[in-house]
Structure formats: C-alpha cells, structure tokens
C-alpha cells in the first residue's frame, strides 16, 4: 500500500486541476484565465484571515485548502502558457527561503528576531540590486496595511522615530486645537497601556485612536483612505530621493 505523504496529496491536487482544465473537464474552469479568477484569490485570503480572527481552526483548515487551490489554478494556467509550472514555483520558494535564512541553513549568527528581519531585507536588497528598499511592496494593498509595510521596511535602515513624543511633535494630521487635544489624549491612553504591557488594552486604545482619526476626517470631509495613500506616495518619493542622494554620494567618494 502506497504511503500517504504531503507530496502525494499535493500531487493529487495538481492532477485534479489538470482534469478540470482538460477536454473532458469542467466548462467553467476551462473558461477561466489569470484575470478572471484573481478576485477569488483575494476572497480566499480574506476568508483565511477571518477564520484566524475567529479562531475557527476547523474552518481555517478548509479555507487554507481553498487558498492553496487558487495557487495551483494560477500555476496550471502558467503551465498551459509555457511560462512556468508548479515545480518551478516550489523550487524558487525553497531556494529563496534557504537564502533568506542563513542563520538556519548557513553559518550566520543572529541575536534576536529584529536582526533576522534586518538581515532579511538586506538579502532582499542584494537580490534586487540597486532597486529601492521600498520596491516590491504592492501598491494595491489597503492604505493601512500599505503604510505599515512601508514603515516597517524603512525602519530596517533606522528611518524611524525613537519614541512616541517625536511622532506626536512631527504629526501633521490635524492642525485644529480641539482635534489635536483629543488625538493627544488618545495617544496618551495608548502609551499608558503599552507601558502596562496589556496587549489587548493597547489594541483597544489604538483602535479608539484610529476611529477618532476617521471621525476627524469625516468632520473635515476628507477620505481617510485616499488621504493616507497620498501620504504614502509622498513618503515613498522622499525616501527614494534620499536613497538616490546616498548612492550618488558613495559613488563620488571613490
């Protein structure tokens, strides 16, 4: 009897996809292309997130399977177009993960997870040569997720605030006194919870702060999503200009 392994099961999923796209397969599946099914990929990813948030692990198992099948679907479409196949995807991710974890698969020593993250981004920059550190972060992400990823990436080269007071002083969100007062109060409450190391309360206070900012945006008839995206674009422009200046300075120093 053949032993059931992850490899065997994954191979069966690939074969199911091949059958669905074959001449005797499913009419709907045969009509699809990368563009027509891209929304399902996002949908399945959000359903995975919902299962995690609800801690519904039985549902998570099912949703992860749905998400995996979308990946297999895209891989098969690429195979049909003679672009690449699922084995190419697996080989590439194996190579990438080993290269980006030299502290596990090599001789590199790290002291903590922060150093792991810093090394990760340095390796990514080596892979993309002279491209910006911010390169590769998708622009179509929701603005809050996009802002977080941009800030995290910039922070790996110490482009960050040292403490909350600096953030408040530099904050250009609102100029009106009453609005600023309310925002400062929310930030103070958030800081108190951080010092108490109460994660749940900190998240709650931060949620209150974000909700207050959205209320302020509505008061001034501002679209918060659009406003944040404009700020991110401005940040990226300034950051890449700074990178260019540093690069030119290094080149002229030789």
113 and 207 within one domain: no
Is residue 138 a part of any domain in this protein?
A: no
154 and 176 within one domain: yes
In the chain, how many domains are there? 3
Q: Which two tokens stand for residue 178?
A: 């009453």
Which residue blocks in the chain are alpha helix, DSSP H?
6-21, 27-31, 34-53, 57-80, 86-100, 102-105, 113-127, 143-155, 164-170, 177-195, 199-219, 224-252
The greatest distance separating any two alpha carbons of the chain, rounded to the nearest whole angstrom, comes to: 75
Is residue 133 a part of any domain in this protein?
A: no
Q: Which two tokens stand for residue 207?
A: 């949620």
DSSP 115: H
Q: Domain of residue 81: give its range.
A: 8-93
CA dihedral 81, 86, 92, 96 (to 10 degrees): 130
Distance between CA atoms of 244 and 80, rounded to whole angstroms? 41
What value does the mean pLDDT of the chain take? 81
235 and 171 within one domain: yes
115 and 88 within one domain: no
Q: Which of 64, 88, 85, 68 is nearest to 76 (CA)?
A: 85
Residue 76 predicted with pLDDT over 90: yes
Residue with tokens 């609800």: 54
pLDDT digits (tens, 9 = 90+) for 212-224: 777 677 767 777 7
Distance between CA atoms of 254 and 69, rounded to whole angstroms? 52
pLDDT recorded at residue 31: 96
Cα 39–chain centre separation: 17
> 0.85 cut: is pTM over it?
no
pLDDT recorded at residue 93: 95
pLDDT digits (tens, 9 = 90+) for 110-169: 888 888 877 777 777 676 665 677 777 777 777 777 777 777 777 766 655 555 455 445
- Residue 177 confidence class, pLDDT cut points 50, 70, 90: low
Distance between CA atoms of 43 and 213, rounded to whole angstroms? 28
243 and 170 within one domain: yes
Is residue 25 a part of any domain in this protein?
A: yes
Q: Which two tokens stand for residue 210?
A: 């974000």
């Amino acid at each position: 009897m053949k032993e059931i392994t992850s490899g065997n099961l994954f191979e069966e999923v690939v074969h199911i996809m091949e059958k669905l796209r074959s001449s005797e397969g499913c009419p709907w599946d045969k009509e699809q292309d990368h563009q027509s099914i891209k929304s399902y990929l996002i949908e399945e990813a959000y359903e995975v997130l919902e299962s995690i948030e609800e801690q519904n692990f039985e549902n998570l198992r099912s949703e992860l399977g749905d998400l995996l099948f979308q990946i297999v679907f895209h891989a098969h479409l690429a195979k049909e177009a003679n672009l690449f196949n699922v084995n190419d995807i697996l080989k590439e991710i194996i190579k990438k993960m080993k290269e980006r974890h030299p502290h596990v698969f090599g001789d590199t020593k790290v002291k903590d997870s922060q150093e792991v993250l810093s090394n990760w981004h340095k390796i990514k920059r080596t892979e993309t040569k002279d491209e910006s550190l911010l390169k590769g972060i998708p622009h179509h992400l929701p603005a809050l997720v996009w802002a977080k990823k941009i800030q995290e990436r910039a922070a790996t080269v110490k482009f960050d605030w040292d403490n909350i007071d600096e953030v408040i002083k530099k904050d250009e969100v609102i100029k009106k006194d009453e609005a600023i007062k309310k925002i400062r109060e929310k930030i103070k409450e958030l800081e108190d919870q951080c010092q108490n190391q109460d994660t749940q309360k900190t998240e709650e206070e931060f949620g209150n702060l974000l909700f207050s900012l959205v209320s302020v945006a509505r008061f001034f008839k501002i679209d918060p999503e659009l406003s944040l995206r404009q700020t991110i674009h401005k940040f990226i422009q300034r950051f890449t200009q700074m990178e260019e200046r540093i690069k030119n300075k290094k080149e002229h120093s030789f």
